[in-house]
Structure 1
Amino acid sequence: MDSQGERAVRLRLTGAVALAAVSGGAGAWAYARSGASAGDLVRDLAVGWAYVVAGVVAWRRRPANHTGRLMVLEGVTWFFGNLQGTAVPALFAFGAWWEALNMAVLLHLILSFPEGRLTTVLTRRLVQVTYGLVAVGGFVRTLLFDPAAETGATYLDCRECGPNLLHVPAWDSLFGPFDAAYHASGWVISIVAAVAIVQRWRHASAARRRALLPAWIGIGVATVFLMWDMLFYVVPWFGGVGSLAEQAVYVMSDLAQVAVPFAFLAGLLRMRLQRAEVSGLVIDIGTDSDPARLREALVRVLGDPTLRLGLWDEERGRHVDGSGREVAADGAGRTPVAAADGRPLALLHHDPALAEDPELLQSVAAALRLALENVWLRTRAKDVATRIVAAADAERGRLERDLHDGAQTRLVFALMSVRRVQKGLVDHPDATLREAADEAETSVRHAIDELRGIAHGIHPAVLTRDGLAAALSELAEEAAVPVVVAAESRRYDPLVESTAYFTVCEALTNAAKHAEARAVSVSARHHEGRLVVETVDDGVGGVDLARGTGLRGLADRLAAVDGVLHIHSPAGGGTRIRAELPCG
């Protein structure tokens, strides 16, 4: 809302509060003059001003919804009937004419709640008839009403009230029948309204019922006591039970009326609590992309068990739910969720009643957007990391082949040439020349061995040729400490095999250099769709992942292929390093 709109709303609210204060003050003054007790005055002011307070809050909170305005109007008109307690003819006539206006406003409020508008032809016609009955029927009744003769025609016990400015003495005989018909009409309208309310409740969704249950309870109770109030007028002998019973009905009716605005406030408070739960929703969702868990968290916050969550399927070009069914984007109760760059992420198909709280839907959509974008970013980052690791492994393999087929082959040919020269110099008289040939042969042989070691460290050829089990066995033979290997002879994805192999390499290096281990066991097995590789040594333990760059690098490498690294290394108790890699 812009500043100009806010100023306009504040101005209207100030005017409404001032009007309520004037109406309440005048009504209380007139009510006290009719003989009302202090308790009656407090109760009466509490009812009227409760509507005003709740209405102001609702109006300020949702200026586009007419519910707040109707509640303020109900609070203002609540005091109109009290003006019959005055001796001012014009005020008495006004109070008599508009005595039932607050009931018409209350009916309008009930039938339009919570949207703030009448949504069916029946409710619109019912409200029109009610206002017409009060305006026309109330006016005619006022023309026939002589307060001196009909002392029991109002809820006020005031024999000295009036006179009535609009009274026509010639029509006095018509007051009794018309008054009975007038109140009977109000009673019929109340019954029809009660039926309409029940039908609305029966056809309401679960989300709407939960959100509005406090308000419906208050409205239902108020409606019941309003009907009892009408009964005193339609069936005169019913009030003969005694003034105490009649007063009890009035007191309970007023208390029920107070419950209506505060029940509405409870509904507003519940909506605020729902929005507060959105912060918890962000934590619950986290980066979990499982549709079932996402929907469960959203249902809990929105209170809508009928909610369907559609996640965007790039291949199909549509939103689909957890069972693969399309979630249509057309129709009521749809809230799309898009990324910051406009990419579609999800679609919420919810109860249309939730559209009455757009801020809640926006907050939930923002939380869902954050979670799904985090999932997308994490997936992209993992894909990039996986491609980097795969590219690095491919490059290591290429280097190993280049060294084997290039430099190593040339060195082998050079060694063969040097050995042919050695044979030719066997009988040569120059001992220095023979020694030089021997040194050349030794140097070339050492260069070949070193080159083979480098190539093996970059990417062992046996891993590519024979698989992980053979590579681990060869690694154990070359280790600086005794190593026992137990590995299943099956093949895995090359990236998985190389990651497992270098994990064992790092573990054996740590066992020899830092752990002072005397023996190491290595195992590799397939378990529930994962390759599990373990190395266990009997060294000094105390390995700290945070202080070891090699192990940290292993953890990062494993994470890049969706693997995990577990290290158990109590001081003095050896070290167990366990790597789990998905392998299908």
Structure 2
Amino acid sequence: MERHQNRPPVPPGPLRIRLAAAALAAAVSASAGAWAYHRAGGSAGDIARDLAVGLAYAGGGLTAWWHRPANRTGPLMVAEGVAWFLGNLQGTGVPALFAVGAWWEALNMAVLVHLVLSFPDGRPGSAPARRLVVFSYGLVAVGGLLRALTYDPAVVAVEATYLSCNDCGPNLLHVPALAGFFTPVDTVYRALGWLLSIVLVVAIVRRWQQASVARRRALLPAWIAIAIASAFLLWDLLLLLLPSPPAGLLQSAVFLLSDVTQVAVPVAFLVGLLRMRLQRAEVGDLVMDLGSDPDQDRLRAALGRVLGDPGLRLGLWAEEKGEYVDGSGQSVRGDGPGRTRVDSSRGTPLALLHHDPALAQDPALLEAVGAALRLALENVWLRTQAKEVTSRIVRAADAERGRLERDLHDGAQARLVFAKMALRRVDRALADHPDPSLRASLAEVEESLTLALEELRGIAHGIHPAVLTREGLGPALTALAQQAAVPVVVAAEPRRYDPVVESTAYFTVCEALANVAKHARARAVSVSARHTGDRLVVETVDDGIGGADTAAGSGLRGLADRLAAVDGILHVDSPAGGGTRIRAELPCG
């Protein structure tokens, strides 16, 4: 299942057709370029390096296009791969193809400028960048045409092209009357290309300086490769402009390094793309990292780490304010770039991420992070709701026990007392009755009423002791100790607490004393109740045989559940032969 989910999605029909057409174009241009380069005298190593560069762009572009069809970077990389082989057409010997190769020899440079200034979004981000892209294409279209019109391969030295071809051509576009203008046109053309390279390097440096941490971290490999490739492009132009360019090993080394760095550009982009996919895989660990009850600062830090954006701001929806609020209480606005809203499964506002706008280029990552954040926050919400509901149930049950105790006290007990008093009056009235059996029957009835009254009082006390309501926890524990089967010493602060807290503490001690009587074989028990910070701590300690286990009996498990219902904690320390200490902590701030 995991492997199936990690497979790349199958592209839709129209996209598959475009990808197939692009792949066919790349294959045809590579084949034609390799054949022409071989015909022009290129060595096997030259042809292999040439194919490696062009096909690296085409293959990387097809992969990027497949995974991110909405991003124009993939098509641009494919265009760079196809344009890479155009200059080789000057080696075909076909006049029309020679003209195409001579005119568009530097088209790959213009496409590279477009790719660099559009990377990674696929669109130039600023007006100067767009003007630079237009200028690069215009330079190739106009300057390349002027150069082709004045270029006669039979007259001009072979240094006019990178192809070492003595019998290339003829040039279908050549105008013989303009042959004398080739040198100045070619010089200006190359000088403008040199200037364009310098401007491009400056633009890369400025974009790097202005980039956010998230963009730098995600795209560092690709930008380094592009910068190196641009630097070697500048060296290529410098070598061509020098009066006597160095030959031999130095020139070959420069051209080899240039080709290697050109290959590094599409490879680096795919590395960046893979890194983004790995980022999305890291989201699976995000839910576990957030824990069971994350606070807002921890949420923000975890999300910033996964997104690679330490400057991330997280706003949680505050219903009372009607806006998103961060951990410091400042509002987080929901408009503008770099904002991702996360709604609950019910469609209500939940959270707002204010992140680096560059992350919008990876919507799948933002969607996965949003889903993890929604799960974490809704888990917190569900736990809060469960606690509130449980607390209301506990309070309602406690109130109901109090009502039952009052009803028994004021109703059934009062009637039984009245009946007993009435029976005594009857007994006095029959003091001189000649039948002794009648008076014996009255005595039996009175005894039965007395026992029933005592049992009813015990039931009422077990449901909810009246002393707990009237006087509080301390007196209730003292009264409870007096009824215990073993000696009990009580130390309780004379303080009142919330009725639910008092009843929970009281019944915790009741259960502990019941366990002592049944299992502990203790000689004495101490009970303490003290206020510590914002918690009421109730402890019951006996000197019995120990060995009590919350997992072994329902009584202690029920205690733990009851305490948890009011946000309390139960600790049981009961080593074998060392007595038992039961400690309950309840919030009472």
The TM-score by the shorter chain falls in which range?
A: over 0.9
Residues 33, 85 of structure 1: 8 Å contact kept = yes
| 1:16-44 per-position Cα deviation (integer Å, ceiling 9, x unaligned) | 11111111111112222333332222221
Look up the match of 1:247.
252
Distance 1:5 1:60 in 2: 7
- Where in structure 2 are the equivalents of 1:223-234 lying within 5 Å? 223-234=230-241
1:40 to 46, 62, 68: 46
1:81 equivalenced with 2:87 (yes/no): yes
Look up the match of 2:528.
523
Distance 1:360 1:46 in 2: 32
1:402 to 407, 411, 417: 407
Look up the match of 1:176.
183
Please report the TM-score for the alignment, with normalisation by the length of structure 1.
0.95
1:514 equivalenced with 2:514 (yes/no): no
1:195 to 186, 194, 202: 202
Amino acid at match of 1:25: S
1:207 equivalenced with 2:214 (yes/no): yes
Displacement of 1:477: 1.2
1:376 to 381, 393, 405: 381
Amino acid at match of 1:413: F
1:66 to 50, 63, 72: 72
2:491 to 486, 489, 494: 486
Residues 563, 580 of structure 1: 8 Å contact kept = yes
Name the SS of the counterpart of 2:334 in structure 1. coil
Distance 1:373 1:139 in 2: 64
Look up the match of 2:372.
367
| 1:314-342 per-position Cα deviation (integer Å, ceiling 9, x unaligned) | 11222111111211122222111112221
Name the SS of the counterpart of 1:156 in structure 2. coil
Distance 1:255 1:528 in 2: 68
Residues 145, 167 of structure 1: 8 Å contact kept = yes
Name the SS of the counterpart of 2:234 in structure 1. helix
1:164 equivalenced with 2:166 (yes/no): no
Displacement of 1:399: 0.9
Look up the match of 2:21.
15
Displacement of 1:152: 1.1
Residues 525, 532 of structure 1: 8 Å contact kept = yes
Distance 1:40 1:538 in 2: 92
1:235 equivalenced with 2:242 (yes/no): yes
| 1:184-206 per-position Cα deviation (integer Å, ceiling 9, x unaligned) | 00111111222222222222211
Name the SS of the counterpart of 1:340 in structure 2. coil
Displacement of 1:91: 2.4
Displacement of 1:256: 0.8
1:135 equivalenced with 2:113 (yes/no): no
Amino acid at match of 2:220: L
Name the SS of the counterpart of 2:71 in structure 1. coil
Q: Which moved more, 1:495-504 or 1:242-251?
A: 242-251
Q: Which moved more, 1:163-172 or 1:302-311?
A: 163-172
| 1:530-571 per-position Cα deviation (integer Å, ceiling 9, x unaligned) | 112222233343334334222222222211111122223344
Name the SS of the counterpart of 2:23 in structure 1. helix
1:446 to 447, 451, 458: 451
Look up the match of 1:153.
160
Q: Which moved more, 1:82-91 or 1:336-345?
A: 82-91
Distance 1:161 1:487 in 2: 107
Q: Which moved more, 1:543-552 or 1:454-463?
A: 543-552
Displacement of 1:463: 1.0
Residues 180, 233 of structure 1: 8 Å contact kept = no
Residues 11, 66 of structure 2: 8 Å contact kept = no
Name the SS of the counterpart of 2:159 in structure 1. coil
Residues 57, 266 of structure 2: 8 Å contact kept = yes
- Where in structure 2 are the equivalents of 1:70-469 lying within 5 Å? 70-148=76-154, 149-237=156-244, 239-240=245-246, 242-424=247-429, 430-469=435-474
Matched pairs, number: 580
Displacement of 1:494: 0.7
Displacement of 1:47: 1.0
Distance 1:540 1:269 in 2: 63
Residues 568, 587 of structure 2: 8 Å contact kept = yes
Name the SS of the counterpart of 1:236 in structure 2. coil
Name the SS of the counterpart of 2:489 in structure 1. strand
Residues 534, 576 of structure 1: 8 Å contact kept = yes
Name the SS of the counterpart of 1:118 in structure 2. coil
Amino acid at match of 2:32: A
| 1:103-132 per-position Cα deviation (integer Å, ceiling 9, x unaligned) | 000000010111111222211111111111
Please report the TM-score for the alignment, with normalisation by the length of structure 2.
0.94
Distance 1:343 1:180 in 2: 65
Residues 307, 350 of structure 1: 8 Å contact kept = yes
Amino acid at match of 1:524: A
| 1:432-461 per-position Cα deviation (integer Å, ceiling 9, x unaligned) | 333333323322222222111111100111
Identity %: 68
Distance 2:242 2:497 in 1: 90
How large is the Cα RMSD of the aligned pairs?
2.0
Displacement of 1:166: 2.4
Residues 288, 294 of structure 1: 8 Å contact kept = no
Residues 86, 105 of structure 2: 8 Å contact kept = yes
Residues 208, 353 of structure 1: 8 Å contact kept = yes
